[in-house]
Amino acid sequence: MSNCHTCDAANVCNSAHESINQMYQRTTDMGLSTIFDRHQDQQPQCGFGMTGVCCQLCSHGPCRITPKAPRGICGATADTIVARNLVRLASHGAAAYSHHLEEIIKTIKATAEGKTPYTIADENKLREIAGVVGLDNTKEKNQLAIELADVLLHEMRKGSDEMLALVSLFAPKTRIETWEKLGIVPGGILSEVRDAMTKSMTSINTDPVDLVLTSLRLSLSTGYLGLVATITLQDILLGTPQITKSEADLGIIDTSTVNIVAHGHVPLVATAVLQAAQTEEMQQLAKAAGATGINVYGSMCTGQELMQRQEITSGGFNGQLGNWLMQEYYVATGAMDLVMMDMNCSTPGLKTAADRFHTKLVSVDRVVRMEGVIDHVDYVPEKVAEQAKDLIKMAVETYKKRGTDVVVPTQKSAAISGFSVESILGALGGTLDPLLDAVKAGAIKGIVAVVGCTNTRNGHDTQGLAIMKELIKNNVLVLNAGCMSSAAQVDGLMTPEAAELAGEGLQGVCKTLGIPPVLNFGSCVDIGRVGVAVTAIANALGVDPSQLPVAVSAPEYLEQKAVADGFFAVAFGLLTHIGPIPPVTGSEMVTKLLTQDAEQLLGGRVLVQEDPTQAAQEIIAHIETKRGNLGI
């Protein structure tokens, strides 16, 4: 148990952020149990689960592997059980990503038919991608958007024996050769999920090697559909990210307005609410209730999606509250009126916090439900303009019930967002050369994507921030996506001034270009944007991604989408640091396969290291080796 660095009391809150430590103190004082307390209540956690050697698939189980009982009742070994549990985790992640993609596809089609409040925001990207997938890209834009959406729907629904066109069109050729040798060139995501779930049923596929290959294959389908296709369509629909300025942390909360939180991953309802909030009709409604206006706040990945496409506007988007561990604490300010929960990462504990205040929780996606939450406004593209108004009306009614016990921390940081291959090219005058020259000259030693979730197990953002700071200090440019983006924003790392924390070389580049040393690539689905950037760099240098001085770190990974992301990064040929220790250590064979043998097979491997400074040093050593091999 550590002492809180804000109040100095011994407590179980281990957040890196002062605002959260303050709010934790407040929830403790009011006797409200929150996530750090529940983490403590769960200690000690089960060692069998931690190491992946508990099997609960059939009614013989649970079987747990011990020296006395080295096999499950069916005869399964620790290797089989660990590998099978892993495929099931990756399948969950893949399925959730496919839901996101399908929602976007449906929305593009409805938009092209003129039935939604959205427009085709990036026609150039639409024409470019349509051309690459073989469509006649001179057609009328709405017709073309429908055809592109249909192509991607077809890709999603392909059999697992049909190679994804997206892989053959967008993946580096050297990667495809590697994947072909291993038999992991994927087909459609729905078929791949079906195959993975079928294989991981009791006694269908008990070969740990084949099960790990299945996870890799599934994750490649996830990468090209759930990530790359999703961000591509989102850019076409909502606009490709451009450099924007905004703010993050709980200090952005304005107590004079009706406050709505956009929380989740699929930014469709949030975008419609933002549009509706700016209408005179809705503003008047808020003012009639005594508020000065309406503010929409970003939370987690939906917030990142909003942030990378717009600046703070009065009566509109008011910045990013933070990542998923912050949800109970912004509710505990007493100032949030409505939380719109789209898919995923709305924790059941949020309801307990909301019930202590006036906050209304509303699920806005047909797959999202929470015990005790009775308000559902399930997203329908054709109805979302009306749904957005309904949500604002609900928020205004809830605002009227807001109590006087409101405490808002003062901390907030400026944050620059909106980095993507396109916006970087724009900033660099249409070529990646200035960036690549800085890498070749050694001013930038390498690039590391510090991505994914945050976790109570190894600190709320403490590990992630420690790794980021150690990397930039050593002249490694950091890219963020997912909850790690919020970590960096709240900590002020996404400002040009943060260049002061970087080594001399990186500092010089940041100052010349006016960029932070930590670049925000967006939400977790934007890990696909990192993949696109790595592909662009590899192509520009004429090498395979595995040869680049590039790595990935998910220092506080949490859930199943992150498992699929991790496999995608390894399959992409990248060193992939993972923390906390994933549930694989119960199998020496699977552990060795992922942390050692994978390098020979794929060029990438998993690095497990819980000490953040040590992890950063091992990543830097890897980067140095890659630089040496390239002769730079």
Interface ranges with ligand XCC (CB under 6 A): 265, 300-301, 323-324, 345, 452-453, 482-483, 523-524, 558-559, 561-562
Tokens of 451: 């991505």
Is the bond preceding residue 344 a cis peptide, omega within 30 degrees?
yes
Q: How far is the CB of 565 from ligand XCC (least distance, A)?
A: 8
In contact, 323 and 545? CB cutoff 8 Å: no
Sort 523 into a burial class: Cβ within 10 Å, 0-12 / 13-18 / 19+: buried
Which residues make Cβ contacts (< 8 Å) with residue 586, sequence separation at least 6? Answer: 48, 51, 52, 53, 65, 78, 81, 82
> In whole angstroms, what is the distance from residue 539 CA to residue 483 CA?
29
Q: How far is the CB of 453 from ligand XCC (least distance, A)?
A: 3
In contact, 116 and 384? CB cutoff 8 Å: yes
Which residues make Cβ contacts (< 8 Å) with residue 75, sequence separation at least 6? Answer: none
Q: List C-alpha distances in Å: 438 to 57, 434, 475, 483, 505.
A: 52, 6, 11, 28, 8
Q: How far is the CB of 300 from ligand XCC (least distance, A)?
A: 4
Q: Which residues pair with 298 in a beta bridge?
A: 262, 320
> In whole angstroms, what is the distance from residue 527 CA to residue 578 CA?
15
Cβ-based nearer residue to ligand XCC, 236 or 558: 558
CA–centroid distance for 546 within its chain = 23
Question: What secondary structure letter does DSSP report for 325?
Answer: G
Cβ-based nearer residue to ligand XCC, 48 or 324: 324
Q: How far is the CB of 79 from ligand XCC (least distance, A)?
A: 28
Q: How far is the CB of 350 from ligand XCC (least distance, A)?
A: 13
In contact, 293 and 286? CB cutoff 8 Å: yes
Cβ-based nearer residue to ligand XCC, 324 or 399: 324
Residues in the chain: 632
Cβ-based nearer residue to ligand XCC, 532 or 554: 554
Q: How far is the CB of 490 from ligand XCC (least distance, A)?
A: 13
Cβ-based nearer residue to ligand XCC, 102 or 147: 102
CA-atom Rg of the chain in angstroms: 24
Cβ-based nearer residue to ligand XCC, 319 or 452: 452
Q: How far is the CB of 525 from ligand XCC (least distance, A)?
A: 8
In contact, 455 and 556? CB cutoff 8 Å: yes
Cβ-based nearer residue to ligand XCC, 100 or 358: 100
Cβ-based nearer residue to ligand XCC, 35 or 353: 35
- DSSP states along 134-200: T--TTS-HHHHHHHHHHHHHHHHH--TTS--HHHHHHS-HHHHHHHHHHT-----HHHHHHHHHHHT
In contact, 52 and 284? CB cutoff 8 Å: no
Q: Is 258 helix (H, G, I), strand (E, B) or coil?
A: strand
Task: Single out the residue of 80, 87, 26 nearest to residue 55, CA to CA.
Answer: 80
Q: How far is the CB of 4 from ligand XCC (least distance, A)?
A: 23
- Where do runs of H (alpha helix) occur along 519-611? 527-541, 560-571, 588-592, 598-602
State the chain's maximal CA–CA distance in angstroms.
71
Q: Which letter, b or e, does each residue of 528-537 get, where b requires 16 or more Cβ atoms within 10 Å of its Cβ? A: bbbbbbbbeb
Q: Which residues pair with 393 in a beta bridge?
A: none
Q: How far is the CB of 83 from ligand XCC (least distance, A)?
A: 23
Cβ-based nearer residue to ligand XCC, 477 or 562: 562
Q: How far is the CB of 403 from ligand XCC (least distance, A)?
A: 29
Q: How far is the CB of 483 from ligand XCC (least distance, A)?
A: 3
Cβ-based nearer residue to ligand XCC, 452 or 603: 452
Cβ-based nearer residue to ligand XCC, 179 or 521: 521
For residue 18, the number of C-alpha atoms closer than 13 Å in the C-beta half-sphere is: 11
Cβ-based nearer residue to ligand XCC, 377 or 484: 484
Q: How far is the CB of 454 from ligand XCC (least distance, A)?
A: 6
Q: How far is the CB of 265 from ligand XCC (least distance, A)?
A: 6
Cβ-based nearer residue to ligand XCC, 208 or 241: 241
Other beta carbons within 10 angstroms of residue 557's beta carbon come to: 26
Q: How far is the CB of 171 from ligand XCC (least distance, A)?
A: 22
Measured at CB, which residue is nearest to ligand XCC? 524
CA–centroid distance for 579 within its chain = 15
Tokens of 404: 């006087």
Cβ-based nearer residue to ligand XCC, 196 or 301: 301
Q: How far is the CB of 263 from ligand XCC (least distance, A)?
A: 9
Cβ-based nearer residue to ligand XCC, 561 or 626: 561
Task: Single out the residue of 454, 448, 495, 496 nearest to residue 472, CA to CA.
Answer: 448
> In whole angstroms, what is the distance from residue 550 CA to residue 148 CA?
32
